[in-house]
Amino acid sequence: MGDMIYEKYDEVDEKNAQRKLFFDSQHKPLSNENNKKMMAGYMKVWDRFDANKDGKLNKHEWMKMNRFINKATVKLFGGKGPEWTVGDYDFFWTMTDAVSDGRWNRNHR
């Protein structure tokens, strides 16, 4: 999955801000402060799309959240990032759901 994501970002125009952030983050992780801000924002969006408030996103909720995130990142960065297909999103959902019940992921919030 990592290779797939890397390849998709590599196909994006080199001047694209999303691409730059992605590749920069591979060599220099976000500062702890920026990482906390990003995670706080992600959790806020997560809560917004957790329609039944069970702390988990079902596939429908997860897909809606990702459509929202894609639109928000276009606004934030001023340009489109990688073009993901419905099949890509199904794969991401399947992989995310497969590891979501792992012991390491309990009490994440």
The structure tokens 């959790």 sit at: 43
Look over the chain and give the mean of its residue pLDDT values, rounded to a whole number: 86
Question: 62 and 54 in contact (C-beta within 8 Å)?
Answer: no
Give the percent of the chain with pLDDT over 70.
92
Residue 49 CA to residue 38 CA, distance in Å, equals 17
pLDDT in tens, 56-105: 889 999 999 999 998 998 998 888 889 899 999 999 989 888 877 665 55
What is the average pLDDT across 39-47?
Answer: 89
Give the residue extent of every domain in the chain. Answer: 31-101
Q: What is the largest CA-CA distance in the chain?
A: 40
pLDDT of 30 higher than 80: no
**For position 62, what pLDDT does the model report?**
92
**pTM score, two decimals?**
0.77
**For position 27, what pLDDT does the model report?**
82
